[in-house]
């Protein structure tokens, strides 16, 4: 009579060491990869000349009581387009910095932005810097 072996080899594989190796490789590739994206097109730009001109700004302030000032000169709303047009003709290409009180209805500020853009200016809404 033949005796059979009762010891069979198990066909199982221990995955704990494999997961350790995968995590180590993942950490290695994350650390060695570049975090800044490469530009799609590499373009050499020409060097510009230093400009001595400074951009002029025209400052318009709208108070809570709907009082308007253009470069620290108090103006009524009816005369505001003429004053802005005169300031823009004196400083062509100037940006108009609009300072609106936070309590004022911002429809009035947006009317002012629209008025400046109609006169050919570049309106910019000024904000209080966050500290």
**Which sequence spans correspond to the domains of the chain?**
57-125
Q: Please list the residues that pair with 75 across neighbouring strands.
A: 68
Q: Pick out the chain residues at pLDDT < 70.
A: 1-5, 10, 35-46, 48-55, 128-131
Q: For position 26, what pLDDT does the model report?
A: 93
Q: For position 27, what pLDDT does the model report?
A: 92
Cβ contacts of residue 116 below 8 Å, gap of 6+?
A: 60, 84, 96, 98, 122, 123
Q: For position 5, what pLDDT does the model report?
A: 67
Fold category of 57-125 in CATH: Nucleotidyltransferase; domain 5 (3.30.420)
Q: For position 1, what pLDDT does the model report?
A: 61
Question: How many Å apart are CA 17 and CA 15, to the nearest integer?
Answer: 6
Pairing mode, if any, of strands 68-70 and 95-100? unpaired
């Amino acid at each position: 009579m033949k005796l059979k072996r009762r010891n069979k080899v198990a066909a199982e594989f221990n995955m704990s060491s494999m997961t350790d190796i995968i995590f180590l490789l993942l950490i290695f590739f994350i650390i060695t990869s570049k975090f800044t994206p490469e530009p799609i097109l590499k373009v050499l730009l020409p060097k510009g000349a230093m400009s001595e001109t400074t951009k002029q700004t025209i400052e318009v302030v709208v108070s809570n009581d709907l009082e308007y000032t253009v470069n620290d000169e108090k103006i009524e709303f009816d005369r505001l387009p003429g004053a802005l047009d005169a300031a823009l003709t004196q400083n062509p290409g100037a940006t108009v910095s609009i300072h609106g009180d936070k309590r004022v209805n911002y429809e009035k500020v947006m009317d002012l932005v629209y008025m400046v853009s109609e006169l050919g200016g570049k309106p910019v809404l000024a904000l209080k810097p966050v500290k």
